[in-house]
Structure 1
């Protein structure tokens, strides 16, 4: 209530907006009296009028920004140990958040956490909840489509993954994203499209060059550390596959720096695993070991699985 009064100037102004936007037969004076009673309830349940305010105004901006941080894959929320991420998501998964449009970010956070646990069923269920919640913002619509595409890819559902990526591409063309946010989402979109080229269906040859061209299309300016990491990691993998080992090593080391210098611990572990792969079993043992140490401290089953795939046979 304090946030609404500060935003709109007075309780009367809030009441007028509710009368104008909400489906109600109450007059402005009646609404203002109801809001005064609601203000006296403090942190108690807001009841019907509390739900009406959530419908009209949503949550306070700073609260919604915090929820969004927990639901966006390219935020540093994923750099927290997985049990702590789940504890935070469960803490916020209750009214009034669970009754607001911002609940989409909590559902997305649970989906990302389930993917880190390698639990595709739980990830799919959380994404279903995100779609039911309704993505009010462009950023949420892109996030849902990208996570859904990733999940479809993990399940081997290539056509569905392409459909979700096409959906994400359409939303990326919409207004409503700041430049950094758009750059991060665009880099993830490019990464998933390149993955389809690097990992074709059985019987088809990978298109290393096509994937490399996609990564090269990401801006060379350091608009955001995540974007720089994703670009250089993708280029490193492409150069490695094309047999350009020296260039691949330099790019993988650059991806490590972008991630590590900016505090993206999980991305740093992924870059170290990429570097270990390029260097080979013997030379890459130290980089692999460092990545596994990070994965264990984060209790991240997905990272551990990736590291164990590189274990000596």
Structure 2
């Protein structure tokens, strides 16, 4: 009997089976007797002795014998008679959660790891399998709660000090403050249009609010999707279609109402066009920001809302005044 000396980790990702495998494990040949295996194990230290890997002369894993089977067998019984000839195995690249559940489904105390040719690389001990299951459970619970990463990160963000809260939030809010000042400058640039038809000013808050609300809903869905492991690509098409449809509905409602109540069909047309265009852009922008922040390693929950709000507000104001300029003044 021997212990494997193959290093299975290499450059594998930290969330794969390779990082949990142990190479200091008992290895025996199929013809070895159960007594001989147990005798050779005494006085030696293994990282995992829950099972013995049974390998052919070329290092191929041909079976696994648990300690319970070895102890229950007669001393002269060849280990090939008590081993599991088809043990569950994984490769170094197998996702750690899949590896853990594969062992659980088979009721194995350890999990063998092999390369593409079946050569034995090590065992994943039961304590590491349990640690993986606990970590994945922790992450799943965090995702269900709408957090990114793990519940430990979420708890840290929820209980962090006042100064840390300011550090995380203030930069984004300062961007919003700058956007508010810029919005005032944009409105001032259309002073002539406002003097020509003061009614235009009445609908600026409404256009900005509705477009912002559409974007806020999309941002919320995008962040939830990222937190739950759903990629932006899976919701992009539906949201990209939803935005224009909402804009059409807004336009169909606002045009007749403004025309009837204020008797200004040109202003009504400008509001309807602005809502249609701004709502269509809002969904695209609201999808792009969380995805970009996530790719940059930033938490979308902190930056997406304020950043999307200021950009969407500025675009809505520009779109509305351009429509008013073309249709009213």
Q: Looking at both structures, which has the greater relative contact order when contacts are Cα pairs under 8 Å and sequence separation is at least 6?
A: 2
- Structure with the larger strand share: 2
- Structure with the larger helix share: 1
TM-score of the superposed pair, with normalisation by structure 1: 0.24
